[in-house]
Structure 1
Amino acid sequence: MFDHATIFAVALCLYCISIILGFAFAGKVRSQSEENFLTAGRSIGPLVGGAALAATQISAGTLVGTVGRHYATGLDWIWIWPGVWFGWLVSAVFIGPKLRACGAVTVPDYLSLRFESAFLRVASALVIIFIYIISLTAQYQACGIIFQTVFGLKPIYGMGILLIVTAIYTTVGGLRVSSYIDVIQVAIIVGSLAISVVILLKYAGGLRATGDLLTMLDPKLIRGWYGWGQIISLQVIFALGIASAPNEMARLSSMRDKATVRYAIGVCFIIQALISVGILIVGLVIRSIFPYLLSADQASPLMSVAILPPLAGSIFLVALFSAIMSNVNSILLVSSGSVSHDLYGKFINPFASEKRKLLCNRLSLVFLSLLPAGLALYGFSDVQSTVLAAARLVGCFFFVPVILGLNSRFGSSSGAIASTLGGGMAAIYWETRNSERFASIDGAEIGILTAFGLYILVGNFTPRVSQQTLRRFFGER
């Protein structure tokens, strides 16, 4: 009989080879321009689009970090999902269809066009690169934990495999190929969770037995770990992070039309609902079986090698790897797009050919994939905390100018700049300098209030954007 490590190694090799060979050639044929590379020719349908949205959000922060938070804090972490789904609702009604209709290639592209500001394009592109380096660090860190738990290897080996495979199919295929790969990855994730839940519940004696053990271990795991103030803060962070995430908005921009965007968000909602139930059960059952792990992030990998049969455990580990891969892919596409489209193509060399912009995109993609790997080796925090930090910054930097810019004629270039930079910097300051006295107030709340106030205040005292620009986004009055 083969052990878990051997079966996982074989399954992972087969998975990676199939991804590279099956899709890289198709991507090379289709991605002939930078815009096509970044938007998939705006050809993605609702089912593929919905799976791509789900795969982009379901990352190491979910299958490693969220399972780890359920392991550590019990039932209460389930309350993050209403925040996630509210974020999708806001996107479906107020952001996604309108962003798709305006024809912008990237979020900095939209902000620059809507508010007539080249500075805002450059600043927002740099902010995206900074935030997503943080987010990539969490994904690489999770991959390192998996390889360390399964093989006893140093984390750098797992990070290296992730980097090589993701970089190959991302640089060759662009967003179109990535979207179709996401369909496979989501199917693996949902299927592996279903198998794991059935086996875990049988192993633990059912939900009632699990609940009894958790109550004996710590009643707060069942009766409530967080206060309502903390829960609301978490929901705000996830809602803002989903509604204004540049990597999610890039997926929305790849879809055929506004109706496709709404249907795709509905498909994503269903997929995420299934996944949320699965990871809740996994986290709780693992806590009842292994109550004292050194790190909550070890829960998912440990389950795969210590509880599940070798084949089922290997499938779950491949699902973990694929979830990380899909998120890394989406982040790299958005970050490299900020470099090639917004910094190089619009600012440094506006007359660059499509060939040069594509080359710039691919080179920056490789560079941006290497930097976070070095940071991840330091293991700054648990995976979920790093994901939360990135989501907080995304919301505070981008939510207000994006949603108000798409839904209101009001606004000025100076107001949008002040809102974008002021909201993000206020959140960073609050999180790094806040005292225990105000610990119940999250940096996301401070950042959003600051961003909204600056947008309105500065917008009232500075020149508005031109009527020509307003007609482009809103039509005639």
Structure 2
Amino acid sequence: MSDPYGLAMIVVVCVTTLGLGIFGMRLSRATSDFYVAGRAVGPVRNASAIGGEYLSAASFLGVAGLVYDGGVDLLWFPVGYTVGYVVLLVLVAAPLRRSGAYTLPDFAEARLESRSLRLLCSGLVIGIGSLYLLPQLQGAGIALRHVTGAPPWVGGLVVALIVGMNVAGGGMRSITLVQALQYWFKLTAIAVPAFVLLWVWWRSGAPDPVGEPAGWDEPMWGFGANDHPLYTTWSTLLALSLGTMGLPHVVVRFYTNPDGRAARRTTVVVLALLGLFYVFPPLYGWLGRVYLPGGARAGAADTIVLDLPTAVLDGTSGQLLGALLAGGAFAAFLSTASGLVMSVAGVIDQDVLRPRLSRLTKGDASGVQSFRLSTVLAVVGPYALSRLVEPLGIATTVGLAFAVAAATFAPLLILGVWWPRLSTTGAAAGLVLGGGAATSAVIATISLDDRTGWLGALLEHPALWTTPLAFAAAILVSLATPGRIPRHTRATLSRLHSPERLRSR
């Protein structure tokens, strides 16, 4: 049955997003406006925008579903999401901004002076961004179907169209404004119902959550459907901790800061904003065990946040809270998809489309026009794939994207920023071996029905073996090929680690 309140809230979110995007179009004129918002975004606004795009379907719906299905042991999951920004702050935030790059492939080429390595990184950005887009589009289908009964493809199409128009129209300036405001809306949308539902639970004298299946409320039971919970816990934590710096839509945000110092401040504010938000999703999984216990929710954990208000409150009150949550979920899909499409479109434009157009037009290709065409390609491909691939669960798919990022860009960034002996051949070996192993695990996870035992654990949670493999390959091959160390390594590292004010003097 259609929920008029939920539908109205989703419409408001979509119209507001489009309106802000149209307003942002008026501010975007130069190429730098489209790619990095003119490098003029302050720490607080940039941190809000990062929070807006980072808090995806996995954060808004998936974490609650994991706690509901996997037990209170899964409370560490949002901690892992946040720890990724601590690692990013300590290791690479300021050097990335000082690199002067627009995208991850830009950084790879500047640091390692190799066009071939740049193209390899471009392929990985497109692959990781598309993989991360899948749960956003599939989650939008779940949310809209829950509210209106529409087929799942409709919700994904709505998100694809709105995001495509906003990114193509205004680029980074446009989506920065949209994402910054959407963070605060998402926080309100998840916090207000949580306080109301907790108050109702406390006043009603309802029982504590039901610990079924056995072990739901015991340590190290989470991921109990897998036979190796300790391995999957550590592997997922490693993916979340190191994968954050390899997510293209996260890293590109630091290029929009005025300088390296602002990039560090941005990361500190991000940690506060993420920590505040992640207080609430586990509460929904916990309350779900009170009001929607056990098998009644089997196979539908991703909608526990949307179902809970009407299970706790009768009538209009429950519907209004559910509508607020549906609007917040849709904002999560829109904001995260915007950042992903922005990063993928930038790579397609710079490394695929514009070089071809320049050859056809003898160097007269318009940067803005090619970027807009790239945006269309960045949206259409993942949307088509989302309709062909069976959903694995929002948090599971996002976890796989983190695992691929951890096994590819994390070694490249950490070694590229801090190790002067990294060679072009070594970096390529790490990307190929880590990326190939992680991608094979993703394909196997999507393709196989039986993912039990050690094989299932290694495939579904590959970060714990693919990331060390990538680091080892990059280091060993670099040591074996000292002649392939870029000529200007010392000058490049000096630029990455020297404050802007010191360099200007």
Task: Give runs of aligned pairs for residues 311-326 of structure 1, distance below 5 A.
Answer: 311-326=320-335
| CA positional deviation for 1:348 | 7.2
Task: Give runs of aligned pairs for residues 216-295 of structure 1, distance below 5 A.
Answer: 217-224=212-219, 225-226=221-222, 227-291=229-293, 292-293=296-297, 294-295=299-300
1:20 lines up with 2:25 in the alignment: no
Query: Match of 2:384?
Result: 374
CA RMSD of aligned residues (A): 2.5
Query: Match of 1:334?
Result: 343
Partners of 1:304 and 1:317 within 8 A in 2 = no
SS in 2 for 1:220: coil
Partners of 1:38 and 1:105 within 8 A in 2 = yes
| CA positional deviation for 1:252 | 0.9
Q: Which of these residues, 475, 488, 494, is aligned with residue 468 of structure 1?
A: 488
Change (3 A) 1:372 1:457: same
Change (3 A) 1:100 1:152: same
Change (3 A) 1:437 1:74: closer
1:104 lines up with 2:101 in the alignment: yes
| CA positional deviation for 1:106 | 0.4
Q: Which of these residues, 162, 166, 171, is aligned with residue 163 of structure 2?
A: 166
Task: Give runs of aligned pairs for residues 12-411 of structure 1, distance below 5 A.
Answer: 12-25=10-23, 27-205=24-202, 209=206, 212-215=208-211, 217-224=212-219, 225-226=221-222, 227-291=229-293, 292-293=296-297, 294-307=299-312, 309=317, 310-345=319-354, 349=358, 356-378=366-388, 379-411=390-422
- Mapped to 2, the partners of 1:449 and 1:348 lie a distance apart of 40
Which residue type is aligned with residue 448 of structure 1? T
1:425 lines up with 2:421 in the alignment: no
SS in 2 for 1:61: helix
Query: Match of 1:436?
Result: 453
- Mapped to 2, the partners of 1:113 and 1:177 lie a distance apart of 27
Spell out, residue by residue over 1:143-185, the C-alpha distance to the aligned partner (whole angstroms, 9 max, x if none): 1111111111111221222122221211111112211211211
Structure with more helix by fraction = 1
- Mapped to 1, the partners of 2:408 and 2:357 lie a distance apart of 24
Which residue type is aligned with residue 486 of structure 2? S
Spell out, residue by residue over 1:439-475, the C-alpha distance to the aligned partner (whole angstroms, 9 max, x if none): 6654212211111111111112222333434303325
Query: Match of 1:412?
Result: 423
- Mapped to 2, the partners of 1:391 and 1:14 lie a distance apart of 31
**Structure 2 unaligned residues grouped into runs of 5+:** 223-228, 446-450, 499-505
Of 347-356 and 386-395, deviating more is: 347-356
Spell out, residue by residue over 1:393-451, the C-alpha distance to the aligned partner (whole angstroms, 9 max, x if none): 11111110111101121111111111111111123445639983466654212211111
Partners of 1:304 and 1:314 within 8 A in 2 = no
Partners of 1:143 and 1:321 within 8 A in 2 = yes
Change (3 A) 1:180 1:154: same
- Mapped to 2, the partners of 1:7 and 1:436 lie a distance apart of 45
**Structure 1 unaligned residues grouped into runs of 5+:** none
Change (3 A) 1:279 1:455: same
Spell out, residue by residue over 1:242-289, the C-alpha distance to the aligned partner (whole angstroms, 9 max, x if none): 122111110111111112111111111111112211001011112321
What count of residue pairs does the alignment treat as equivalent?
472
TM-score scaled by length of structure 2:
0.87
| CA positional deviation for 1:129 | 0.9
Spell out, residue by residue over 1:203-255, the C-alpha distance to the aligned partner (whole angstroms, 9 max, x if none): 33379955x3323x334221132344332221101111112211111011111
Partners of 2:141 and 2:154 within 8 A in 1 = yes
- Mapped to 2, the partners of 1:208 and 1:459 lie a distance apart of 63
Of 448-457 and 467-476, deviating more is: 467-476
Partners of 2:102 and 2:255 within 8 A in 1 = yes
TM-score scaled by length of structure 1:
0.92
Partners of 2:48 and 2:183 within 8 A in 1 = yes
Partners of 2:63 and 2:77 within 8 A in 1 = no
Change (3 A) 1:386 1:208: farther
Partners of 1:131 and 1:390 within 8 A in 2 = yes
Change (3 A) 1:98 1:204: same
Query: Match of 2:464?
Result: 445
Query: Match of 1:455?
Result: 474
- Mapped to 1, the partners of 2:362 and 2:136 lie a distance apart of 33
- Mapped to 1, the partners of 2:480 and 2:419 lie a distance apart of 17
Partners of 2:86 and 2:271 within 8 A in 1 = no
Spell out, residue by residue over 1:6-31, the C-alpha distance to the aligned partner (whole angstroms, 9 max, x if none): 12222222332232223413x32332
Partners of 2:434 and 2:470 within 8 A in 1 = yes
- Mapped to 1, the partners of 2:133 and 2:320 lie a distance apart of 29
